Amino acid sequence: MRLTGITNFLSGYYILRAPNGTAFTNLLLAQGIASWNPKLRDGSITLCMLRSEYKRLKLPCETDVVTVREVGLPQLIERYRRRPGILVGALLFAVILYLSSQIIWSVEVKGAQRLSEEDIIDELAGLGCGVGSFIPFIDFYVLCNDYLTQTGDVSWISVNIRGTVAYVELRERIMPEITEKSDNPANIVAASDGIVQHVEVYSGIAAVKAGDAVRKGQLLISGIMDSISVGFRATRAQGRVIAQTAVMLEVSVPFETTEKVYTGRSGIQNTIKVFGKSINLFLKSRNLYEKCDTIETTDNIMLFDVIKLPLALRTVTYKEYTDEVRVMSETEAGALAALQLSEDYARRFASSEILSMSTESVTDSGAYRIICEVSCTEDIGETREFGFAGTNGSN
């Protein structure tokens, strides 16, 4: 509605019809009476005229003018002045509409990548800026500072109000990559049994050589170094010890398994959230079934698919199930065991060189087992720190 239309509505106007359109138009021009929206039809004319202009109009006796309808606020007040309840209701509606424009209806977050938007909205609500918060009571400068003080994951944040929506823009703090680095003295010991194939020492003294058989925990590269000038000193041993190792993997899949079977029964509990406050539409607030899956969804109410209202419908669906024992065939159990073995194999030997491999399938004790023996070469070095007081070789 244009501003002129609003002004005309507040002032009130008449819709008039005159059978002799030409004569009535000439009369209005002669008296300087303003009108708008003229429509001619079969010689008659229909037009709009303000109440104030109509009072100035002087009609000759022979002029036939019909008032089709009176429109505007004065007409409404005249119609309902004997029904004060309607006027009071309209006034209350206007007050509520004004107050609602001072309340946050929704919060939109921009810039969150690692952080959850829901967590950000909840943290801001805890600081007094959430759905249902009264906008004039919020000090946004203090709000942003409090948020930055409370969380260490954000380096900058801004909260701006546009209408009834709080737009949050933030920049996440860039967290430096933490790499484990220590200067404490350490040895390199064997993480498993094996036959040494190759030794590479970057710092420290090699304690084994190619061809040596080593046991788990045995010293491979020492962090204690001896010198005639300074005596014993400790360093952090670094290097690689490639050895041939024998690894056995085993997976076991029982024939009897417990499976979740849905009964087909389900229940729904709905909750309405108005300005962040929840109103339950159900009597019992517990699970409807002894064993069930819980699925929760929240749908925000949109006006014309554009305006996000401060209303949301939270639906919790309960799907009942029972635990049933199922007996797998040997083929099914074998396929499942093979799948588990392939996952364990890929994870265990990601950085190893495979020399040979053999597998054996066994069915016993109500389970299907696969035993896999692998011969490979890999780095068996494991860093182990130690304390060192130090001695000096000079007397």
How far out from the chain centre does Cα 345 lie?
Answer: 36
Instruction: Give strand pairing partners of 50.
Output: 13
Instruction: Residue 121: name the closest of 317, 308, 315 by CA.
Output: 308
The CA distance from 38 to 61, in Å, is 23
The CA distance from 219 to 197, in Å, is 16
Q: Which two tokens stand for residue 134?
A: 């009264």
Instruction: Residue 165: name the closest of 49, 308, 355, 326 by CA.
Output: 308
Predicted confidence at residue 252, as pLDDT, reads 92
DSSP H/E element including 203: strand 194-203
CB-CB contact of 117 with 109 (8 Å): yes
The CA distance from 68 to 54, in Å, is 13
Apex CA 301: angle with CA 297 and CA 304, to 5°? 140
The CA distance from 288 to 286, in Å, is 6
pTM listed for this prediction: 0.47
Predicted confidence at residue 1, as pLDDT, reads 46
Predicted confidence at residue 389, as pLDDT, reads 63
What DSSP string runs through 85-111?
Answer: HHHHHHHHHHHHHHHHTTB--EEEEES
- CB atoms under 10 Å from CB of 384, counted, come to 14
Predicted confidence at residue 393, as pLDDT, reads 43
Measured CA distances, 283 to 139, 203, 278, 317 (Å) = 39, 72, 14, 15
The CA distance from 33 to 59, in Å, is 12
Residue 78 backbone zone (phi > 0: left; psi -120 to 50: alpha; other: beta) = alpha
pLDDT tens track, the chain, 395 positions: 456 777 888 888 999 988 888 888 888 898 899 999 899 888 888 999 998 898 888 887 666 787 788 888 888 777 777 676 766 776 777 766 666 678 888 888 998 888 888 889 889 988 988 888 888 888 988 989 999 888 878 888 999 988 788 899 999 887 665 455 677 899 999 999 999 999 999 988 999 999 999 999 999 999 888 766 667 788 899 999 999 999 999 999 999 888 888 888 888 888 887 766 777 776 665 667 788 888 888 777 766 665 667 777 888 888 889 988 888 888 999 999 999 999 999 998 988 999 999 999 998 878 999 999 999 999 999 999 987 665 544 43
What DSSP string runs through 171-189?
Answer: EE--PPP------S-EEEE
How far out from the chain centre does Cα 113 lie?
Answer: 9
Q: Tokens 């600081």 label which residue?
A: 127
